[in-house]
Amino acid sequence: MLTALFGGTFDPIHYGHLLPAMALTKEVGLSQISLLPNNIPPHKPQPEASTEQRLAMLKLAIEDMPPVFSIDTREIFSDKLMQPSYTINTLQQWRIENGNSEGLAFIMGQDSLLSLPTWNHWQTLLDYCHLLICRRPGYAEKTDNAELQSWIDAHQTINIEDLHKTANGYIYFAHTPLEDISATEIRDNINNQQSCKDLLPAKVWQYIHTQGLYSAKKM
Ligand code: ATP
């Protein structure tokens, strides 16, 4: 069985994260999914929710989910909070802690895959993990970036067994459900006093309400 990290801002966490991740556990055979909230350094535009609020929402979100979900706080409690969290550093740290033989996957949506060339040392990510890509409505299946596309072509597998036979190195495009949900849409809906109860777990919705999050006006 494979362990996975699922990085994100989670401002807030929603079913567009949780439902594809749940489906992945069955499709690929994941023993654990650690939600990995990222650190946004002080000089960057900040998420609307504080780090503590993002973490509180993650905790509430997984309360009623299967025990496969956990939270990895290493990026938000790092001693390098002045820097953005670089996935490559997190993966390297994970390998130091867990060794090189255990399988590790990193989950991302199709939009993140398309933005990969902006990531620090993106071409070496596969030295540490497999990438599991979840489909996302509105994002192209192929990229215009020739370098990225040839990197994908060189590493893509359609065989789930490959993900279990080696500890890292493959890209797998999952057949996860298409969930047309984004945190931006949720924040906008709340600010416009529209309900988006069905887009995220009830406990997270309740928390947003009691904290008055994402709303310039009163909800
Ligand atoms: P925002 O709208 O604020 O940009 P977001 O909804 O994209 O946020 P993030 O926390 O930035 O959420 O995303 C974390 C990870 O989850 C990214 O890899 C992203 O691609 C993936 N993801 C987010 N929403 C979906 C979705 N609806 N379907 C598939 N993947 C998703």
**CA–centroid distance, residue 2 to ligand 1 (Å):** 22
Which whole number is the average pLDDT over 44-68? Answer: 95
Q: Which two tokens stand for residue 58?
A: 């993650």
User: Quick one: what percent of the chain has pLDDT higher than 70?
Assistant: 99
On the 0-12 / 13-18 / 19+ scale of CB atoms within 10 A, 58 is buried
Question: Rounded to an integer, what distance in angstroms lies between the CA atom of residue 107 and that of residue 202?
Answer: 24
Question: Rounded to an integer, what distance in angstroms lies between the CA atom of residue 96 and that of residue 90?
Answer: 10
For 208, how many CA atoms within 13 A lie in the half-sphere containing its CB? 31
**CA–centroid distance, residue 187 to ligand 1 (Å):** 13
User: pLDDT category, 40, cuts 50, 70, 90?
Assistant: confident
Q: Which of 49, 44, 37 is nearest to 84 (CA)?
A: 44
Please give the pLDDT value at position 217: 54
On the 0-12 / 13-18 / 19+ scale of CB atoms within 10 A, 182 is middle
Parse the chain into domains and list their residue ranges: 2-181
To the nearest 10 degrees (0 to 180), the angle between helices 51-63 and 202-211 is 150
Question: Rounded to an integer, what distance in angstroms lies between the CA atom of residue 23 and that of residue 79?
Answer: 34
Residue that has been written with the tokens 């938000």 in this structure: 76
User: pLDDT category, 219, cuts 50, 70, 90?
Assistant: very low
- CATH for 2-181 is 3.40.50.620
For 206, how many CA atoms within 13 A lie in the half-sphere containing its CB? 5
Which whole number is the average pLDDT over 10-39? Answer: 97
Please give the pLDDT value at position 59: 98
Ligand 1 binding pocket mutation candidate from 13, 15, 17 (most atoms within 8 A of CB): 17
- Judged by DSSP in three states, 135 sits in coil
- Tell me the pTM: 0.96
Average pLDDT, the chain: 95
Please give the pLDDT value at position 82: 79
**CA–centroid distance, residue 104 to ligand 1 (Å):** 20
